[in-house]
Structure 1
Amino acid sequence: MKDSEQRNPVDQHPRPDFPQQEQQHPGWTGPMDPPPDHGEESYEGSGQLTDRKAVLTGGDSGIGRAVAIAFAREGADVLFTHLPEEAGEARETARLVEEAGRKAVAVPCDIREEEQCRRLVERAVEEFGRIDILVNNAAYQMSQPDGISAITTEQFDRVMRTNLYGMFWLSKMSLEHMPAGGSIINTTSVQAYQPSPHLLDYAMTKGAIVTFTQGLAQMVAEDGIRVNAVAPGPVWTPLIPATMPDTSEFGKQSPMGRPAQPAEMAPAYVFLASQRASFITADIVNATGGTPLP
């Protein structure tokens, strides 16, 4: 079905209960049941991002792949990151971007390392000459049902460096190459407002992303750069079977009774990146399936 078709969102995509499934981190799309929908068959572009140059972290699967597909079909070239072990996933994202007639550049990159972030920005400038859109999407989480005592310093450090340090460095470095009209879009979460105890460290980073977004937006507004964020609720991505002990009822708690598919997140990123959102900055687009947020 195409995005333009009107449907009941409650039963538009699969609803739990799902088969119980587990994967090693970072997780892969292929084994997931039901398979995630990234908009491969449904997303229809309308030229909203013609000739824009986008940098996207975590573009190999999940929300990142859906955003890459949507950006390409809207006319943007896309450079995206992936972990080395996700090279196969990245090739599929690159294929879908190129199928839309746009340039795809897949870069193995661990955004926990400042030097790797610097090289990523340099690569984007080499490939594109500028950065019009930066999407800070890559994230790490690991459920710890046993509480704070089970969160090791190693895990805490990985969550902080992936979710916050990488976003900080890439935003700082990309702004030097971003013209007026550019856009930074960060991925926060419903966890920023309604933290799940088993995701304590992850949730606190998502709260920090909200604050960073709103503060940076005010700092760069006079330069013509907009900074916003998207706050998804539960989304069916490889991160779920790779980090959650129970996948069978994932998303069932949302008022719609199901998790989102990655394809349902992508239009929010397109809108925030587009000129249609020219007076929108320091805002958070909540895409939670009905969970009320402040």
Structure 2
Amino acid sequence: YNIFLLIIIELFEKEKNMFRKQLIGIISLILTTFLTAPARAETVMEKVARTGVLTISTRSDLIPYSYINEAGELVGYSIDLLNLVQEELEQRLGKDIIIQVVIEEKISERIPKLRSGEFDIACDTAFTWERDRFVDFSTSYAVSGIRLLVNSESNLASPESLANKRIGTAPNNPGAVTIKTIQPQANLVSVNSVEEGLNALEEGKVDALAGDTVILYAIREELGKDSYKLVPEQPYARYGMGCMVAENNSTFLNLVNYSIIKMMQGYLVGENRFEEMVNQWFGPEGIINIDPTIIRNFFQNVLITKEQVPLDQTDSQAIIK
């Protein structure tokens, strides 16, 4: 009997030790999983809700998208859109939101800093598939293209005429890619800012300045129509202008898109606020004179792919006329 009892006790101790080892193993697995799993990054909406601050990145020399005016104020079409995003955030979150501005002139720096969370959104940016690999783009709120700013007596225009010519452009941007695509024999000269490019053109260091049509048009208006011209008549390439946000921020991106669509729709139904907002940059009396029909057609083409934003006006059907 005693021997039998000892055998039972020994078996119980073995089972208990085995159970203890299994339990330790399970606990270790749980701890390892929780301790080594990457922490979920805070989304833009969560960060703005927590801090009450929306951090934007922009440039200071892109007339009429974003630039410093004579009064030292940061203004422009993109800045107005970001103010609409601010208002929408305040409505959604139920609190005041402050905009904090980070000036970053180089697109090569803006994307890494956006991805790392140094700021929440960056607008006035041309969409490219290469950029879209690393960030998410909003709905386009403008369409532009690549053209050349040249002296009024220049005969540059066709791709063939650009062979062996010095074309100033920011490195690796749509202008540089487009020019090298249409004329591989063009000599690209890197310029780090609009001002640097203009100086190079005026000093004869480059034969032309390649860039965004809207921006070059505004520069030509500022410098004087008689001294410079834009070529060719139709852009070498076209693209949409939008805002960039870091990936995996769908809620914030949806809010940005909603703000853009709401602005477009308001313009189309004749809301004074949105008409004035667009016209001061692109209207007959704005910085760039664009036929309102062109603007309306573009906005309607964008809106036709989206649901209509609920309107306060009784004439909501105006949006589809």
TM-score, with normalisation over the residues of structure 2?
Answer: 0.27
In proportion to residue count, which structure has more helix? 2
In proportion to residue count, which structure has more strand? 2
Larger RCO of the pair (alpha carbons < 8 Å, separation 6+): 1
Larger Rg: 1 or 2? 2
TM-score, with normalisation over the residues of structure 1?
Answer: 0.29
